[in-house]
Amino acid sequence: MNIQKIIKERLKMSDRWIANKFGLFDFWYYDEEEFELSNGKIIFRGTNGSGKSVTTQSFIPLLLDGDKRPNRLDPFGSSARKIENYLLLNEEENDKIAYLYMEFVKPSSNTYLTIGIGFRARRGKKLDCWHFILKDGRRINKELKLYKKREGKKYRSIAGRTGCPAGRTRRKVRIEGRMQIMMKNKAMRIAAGVGVTTLLTMSVISGSFAKYITSGTGTDSARAAKFGVTVTANGTMFASEYATDDEAVGTIAKSVISSGGEDDHVVAPGTKGELLNATITGKPEVAVKVSYEPTLTLNGWEYTDERSASSEYFPIIFKVGDKKYGMKGVKDSTGAAIANGSSSIAELKTAVENAIKGYSKNYAANTDLSGIGADGFVNVSWEWAYNGNSDEKDTYLGDQAAANKASTVELSMKTTVTQID
């Protein structure tokens, strides 16, 4: 920037109104105090609670916009304290007048202008207030005093006669015994205009603030975590035909063959099967639970004797993992009876389902599920022993099937991989 431009900018600045002085008279804890500004700037320093915020807010915004609402006077926005509280500080004070004023100067012409507001607080009565502007160049505490001395005591010389209702209300203001009549709205428009101009050049700073604020900004981005798990059911538990185990039979390769085709699965004494429930693949980036939800359905497994007495008879034994489950008295292919066998088909059904559910397990994020091993996969197998059980009851079940009253067994198993919350 060249010298001519700098000079021009400074001359332009010198023709603007600049805040020159703040004044308080009998307001809050101030008796009579003035703060002089340097080129429109001032710094208030002090410890917390020393009054920096109250002093500052008494001028900005109170004096500039005349808004006396309590939440405009409190730095935290509280409505607890009113103007009256800044005047009547103790129980002994019942009637008090106070003033706030701000002096502006135009350096180019050494012209002064002062705006001010006066208050009268009386205990139990509505607050009175009035506004004034000195446009004739007189300065408070120079050519003009806010009080008169009588017998060594100060007496307030400016007193408002009315309250502060909104609207265009004529207001009388007595200054040193002279009367000036002004329109409130016009006065406040002038004050606001001066204030807006002044705010561009004035900086009010305190050593510490009325409330503490700190902040930090962080930026991050993310993508959706990988899941990519597949579950594939493997094998069939029952079949339409079974190979012969008895080598003495010779050329007969199949000892059981369903007449209904490959989709018509059957069971019979001497048959067995196994279901490797599912193949799980994937390496999810989230923790997961592999859960098993089995449903075992057993229908028509009853034997009726010659006296027409019916009883439950289920000769099939299930093996879940390393443990076998069956009805009491039923034997496996080795001729061994089931330890702690179930007393009813309903009890057996619950025992088998709970055993399968017990293989559900949680896995940490980034676990390769294809390698979770035998502890993670549940193997379920079954057998109907050829020898050792009741031939009579086995035959009865076969005859019932021939009469289209076949007993049925069905095991459904759902394998689910779920993200852990």
Give the C-alpha separation, 202 to 90, whole Å: 34
Q: How many CB atoms lie within 10 A of CB 24?
A: 21
Q: Indicate left, alpha or beta for 285 from its phi (over 0: left) and psi (-120 to 50: alpha).
A: alpha
Structure tokens at 177: 């015994």
| pLDDT band (50, 70, 90) for residue 165 | very low
Structure tokens at 133: 């502007």
**71: pLDDT strictly greater than 80:** no
Q: Write out pLDDT tens, residues 208-264.
A: 334 445 555 656 556 676 677 887 766 667 777 777 666 555 566 677 777 878 778
What integer best gives the mean pLDDT of the chain? 76
Nearest to 118 by CA among 103, 136, 101, 106: 101
Q: What is the DSSP string of 18-70?
A: EEEEEEEESSTT-SEEEEE-BTTEEEE---TTSSHHHHHHHHTTHHHH----H
The alpha helices in 235-357, defined as continuous H runs, are 345-357
**342: pLDDT strictly greater than 80:** yes
Q: Is the dihedral of CA 37, 42, 47, 50 positive or negative?
A: positive
Most confident option among 4-18, 69-83, 198-212, 237-251: 69-83
Q: Write out pLDDT tens, residues 275-322.
A: 656 678 888 888 988 888 889 899 999 888 878 788 899 999 999 888
Q: How many CB atoms lie within 10 A of CB 57?
A: 17
Q: What is the DSSP string of 206-259?
A: ESS-SS------------PPP---EEEE---SSBSEEE---GGG-S--EEEE-T
pTM for this entry: 0.46
pLDDT of residue 138: 93
**Residues 8-206, CATH architecture:** 3-Layer(aba) Sandwich (3.40)
**H-helix or E-strand containing 183?**
strand 178-183
pLDDT of residue 173: 33
**174: pLDDT strictly greater than 50:** no
Q: What is the mean pLDDT of residues 27-40?
A: 90
Residue ranges of the chain assigned to CATH 3.40.1140: 8-206
Q: What is the mean pLDDT of residues 163-178?
A: 32
Angle at 307 between CA 302 and CA 310, to 5 degrees: 20
Sequence-distant (≥ 6) Cβ neighbours of residue 258 within 8 angstroms? 240, 241, 264, 265, 266
Q: Write out pLDDT tens, residues 360-401.
A: 889 899 888 877 755 566 778 888 888 777 888 888 888 988
pLDDT of residue 149: 67
Structure tokens at 255: 């000892």
pLDDT of residue 185: 41
